[in-house]
Structure 1
Amino acid sequence: MNNIAESIDLQSEKIGPRLKEIRNALGMTVEEFYSPLMKAFNNGSSIENNKRNLGKRLAKDIIEYYNINPGFLDTGKGDKVLKVRPYHKKTFQPRPIDPGESVPFFDVKLTQLHAGLPDIFSESTPEYYVNYRPFNDCAAYLPVYGDSMNPRFVNGEIIAVKEVINRDVILWGEAYLVVTDERANSLITVRLLHQHEDTGKIILRASNPAYGGDTVIDKAAIVRLYIIKGKITRNQL
């Protein structure tokens, strides 16, 4: 079975749903099914929903671990499993998950987020989860669109945002994701923060000099504040 995954069209949009069929036939949850094989087991949902491709190595591991019929995975015909191995489910123990172990990536534009929600990401579905230790204390990964923050952040890069609990402690000149209420037109934006002479106000500034003019808002209008802890490129995911 060494090369069995290579004989399957893993790019087919049918692969994900067939994996889900197999998992459901075994009576297993996403965590039960993928956790023995994937550290970020939630990525299994993305694979089943065709939001993430199934790689050859993972396909081989899944087929061998559950003795899956590769013919069913490839064509949807025949038995789902060649020989049921119920001991996988019986001996399964959920792997303890560190809350900071992986961070959701939301492939959304800032204009798609809602400032009025207690959690601006609550109506967005993660594409997958990223386990990158330096940023595992962050709230989310988000893509960069546009060039207003160039050269600090380039279009296509991905930023890691960490919520600021104490908004009185701000690193002036650093980039933040700022979420405001109606007093600032429910603005959600990534900008450099600068101190205003009026301590009750704050300056939002683009890092791209082509975007002239500062935006000044009341500090009280900020409902959520996230520091941009760092960035990665898509090929690092």
Structure 2
Amino acid sequence: MIDHLDRAELGPLFKEARLLKNMTLEQFYGGIAKHVNNFSSIENGGRVVGRRLAKDIIYYHNISLKWLEKKEGAPFLSNIPYKHKQERKGIRFANEPLEGEVPFYNIQPDTMFNGLDVFRESPEFYVNFRPFNDCTAYLSVYGDNMNPKFASGEIIAVKEVFNFDVILWGEAYLIVANEQANNLVTVKLLFSHADEDKLILRSANPDYGGDIIIDKKAIMKLFIVKGKVTRYQL
């Protein structure tokens, strides 16, 4: 997820992030590496940070990729460092997913997507729950437009689909559309339209009347909602 970043420019940005936290080199990098002497030259641009090390720094301190790339938004997604290799009921806080683990993102879906660059932000943790281990991600539900199917605060497991002509009508999907559909990012029930090149998006909550109709070609990403969990189960 950091491949689009210019690692030659990350050192000074890491320094800026460290100073924003008012931390020394030892305090900022001590939880990531045993020896921190080399980080001074990295921060001053004298040495390019390695890809794996950059990833560790970003994930450990929850640094926003959007801030690193464009200096937009808050520098940190959270002030709580990652807990390395800590396991609790199928949940692991770590920098890299193990086989079968699925990332959990506790932010609204419309903040995750920028064109085809999906899930730009760092996951909060990884979940190993066998029925959903083939999914792409776990996401929090916000709002009540999909109530009672999905209540606000519940967590859904989504799996990316690639053939937009094979859709389970009446099932819930996460739809990511381009500017032709106003960059819509939403979870809705999908239904067929009389025009086979279009789709009907519908809320599960009857209080949200009115369908949304979009062209299939406006869809950049499509994820089927395979199931849900509630927070007290985590």
Distance in 1 separating the partners of 2:129 and 2:81: 20
1:138-178, Cα deviation, whole Å (9 max, x unpaired): 11111000000000000000001100021110000000000
Letter in 1 for 2:125: Y
Matched, 1:165 2:162: yes
Q: Do residues 24 (structure 1) and 54 (structure 2) align? A: no
Per the TM alignment, residue 51 of structure 1 is displaced from its structure 2 partner at its CA by: 5.2
1:112 maps onto 2:111 in alignment? yes
- Alpha-carbon distance between aligned partners in 2 of 1:51 and 1:233, rounded to the nearest angstrom: 24
Report how far residue 25 of structure 1 moved. 2.9
- CA contact under 8 A between 1:104 and 1:127: conserved in structure 2? yes
- Give CA deviations for 1:38-65 in whole Å, capped at 9, x if unaligned: xxxxxx9489x625679x998xxxxxxx
Q: How does 1:1-237 map to 2 (within 5 A)?
A: 21=30, 24-25=33-34, 45=60, 50=80, 97-98=98-99, 101-116=100-115, 118-121=116-119, 123-237=120-234
SS of match in other structure, 1:167: coil
Task: For residues 50-108 of structure 1, give each alpha carbon's deviation from its aligned partner in whole angstroms, at most 9, with x where no partner exists.
Answer: 25679x998xxxxxxxxxxxxxxxxxxxxxxxxxxxxxxxxxxxxx942xx10111111
The answer to whether the 8 Å contact 1:115/1:180 transfers is no
Alpha-carbon separation, structure 1, partners of 2:112 and 2:83: 26
Describe the shift of the 1:21–1:231 C-alpha distance in structure 2 as closer, same or farther (beyond 3 A). same
1:183 match: secondary structure = helix
Residue type matched to 1:113 in 2? M
What letter matches 1:120 in structure 2?
Answer: V
Distance 1:103 1:132 in 2: 8
Aligned letter for 1:25? K
Local SS of the residue matching 1:194 = strand
- For structure 1, list consecutive stretches of 5 or more residues without a partner in the other structure: 1-16, 32-43, 59-95
In 2, the alpha carbon distance for the partners of 1:173 and 1:209 equals 14
Conservation of the 8 A alpha-carbon contact between 1:152 and 1:207 = yes
Name the aligned partner's letter for residue 80 of structure 2.
N
Query: Take 2:219 and 2:195, find their aligned partners in 1: how far apart are those partners?
Result: 16
Identity %: 52
Q: Which amino acid aligns with 1:180?
A: A
- Tell which structure's C-alpha radius of gyration is larger: 1
TM-score, normalised with respect to structure 1: 0.61
Q: 1:203 touches 1:216 (CA, 8 Å); kept in 2?
A: yes
CA distance in structure 1 between the aligned counterparts of 2:174 and 2:80, rounded to whole angstroms: 30
Shift of 1:120: 1.9
Deviation of 1:216 (Å): 0.5
Distance 1:109 1:22 in 2: 29
Equivalent residues of 1:115, 1:179 under 8 A apart: no
How far did 1:234 drift? 1.8
Structure 2: runs of 5+ lacking an equivalent: 1-25, 37-51, 53-58, 63-78, 89-96
SS in 1 for 2:143: coil
Distance 1:115 1:219, change over 3 A: farther
Aligned counterparts of 1:219 and 1:167: Cα–Cα separation in 2 = 7
CA RMSD of aligned residues (A): 3.6
The alignment covers a number of residue pairs equal to 170
